[in-house]
Amino acid sequence: MSASLLAACVFAFVASITPGPNNVMLAASGATFGFRRTVPHVLGVFLGFMALQAAVALGLGQVFAASATLQTALKWVGAAYLLWLAWKIGTAGRPAADPDARPLSFLQAAAFQVANPKGWTFAIGVAAIAVDGTTSPAQALAVAALVATIGLPCMAVWAGCGVAVGRWLTSDRALRAFNAAMGIACAASAATIFL
């Protein structure tokens, strides 16, 4: 393994295990819906991020970095979507008490990666470390698959921690308080986009 690929793997682990919008949403989903119902959300983040990483490694990151308009648009779209998700998380109750409550679907979680500013920063960082102008599409896809695979157990840890916390939240009031805290954390991550 080359030094740059090893550095990208370490960066991927640190970025994947630390708090961010995806991990906050996975913890809230685990607490509210349980691990099994959160699996499509985990897989959506996994494959959505892998696609984003591959696109960035193939040159989309350079286009994005060169366009202030695209960066500004992503900030506003990402912040708006995060605030909407924060509202959904923060107001979620126990599924039995709220028949409309549903975890994020596979497609919703995958699509969120396009609007996730931390995901873009992460993908551009990995590409800067592990990809150069001579990278073939197969190499870019291999880097994307490796980085996403490193993130998969990290996502499962966050969902599992949510499940563990959910077991302690025996009252509806406690679950609502936890979800409100997760919603606030998600909203705070939207605010950091503009710092």
pLDDT value for 95: 76
Assess whether pLDDT exceeds 90 at residue 57.
Answer: no
Assess whether pLDDT exceeds 80 at residue 154.
Answer: yes
Longest Cα–Cα distance in the chain = 56
Q: What is the CA radius of gyration of the chain?
A: 17
pLDDT value for 169: 87
Q: What percent of the chain has pLDDT over 90?
A: 36
- As a whole number of angstroms, the distance between CA 42 and CA 32 comes to 15
- As a whole number of angstroms, the distance between CA 21 and CA 86 comes to 9
Confidence bin at 125 (pLDDT 50/70/90) = confident
Q: What is the pTM of this model?
A: 0.82
pLDDT value for 101: 77
In the predicted model, what is the mean pLDDT of residues 31-53? 95
Q: What is the mean pLDDT of the chain?
A: 87
CA distances from 158 to 3, 14, 43, 121 (A): 29, 13, 13, 20
pLDDT value for 38: 97
Q: What percent of the chain has pLDDT over 70?
A: 95
Q: Pick 64 or 144 by higher pLDDT.
A: 144
List CB contacts of 139: < 8 A, sequence separation 6 or more. 57, 131
Least confident range of 97-101, 108-112, 174-178, 182-186: 97-101
- As a whole number of angstroms, the distance between CA 42 and CA 159 comes to 8
In the predicted model, what is the mean pLDDT of residues 183-190? 85
Confidence bin at 99 (pLDDT 50/70/90) = confident
- Top-confidence range, 96-105, 129-138, 145-154, 180-189: 145-154
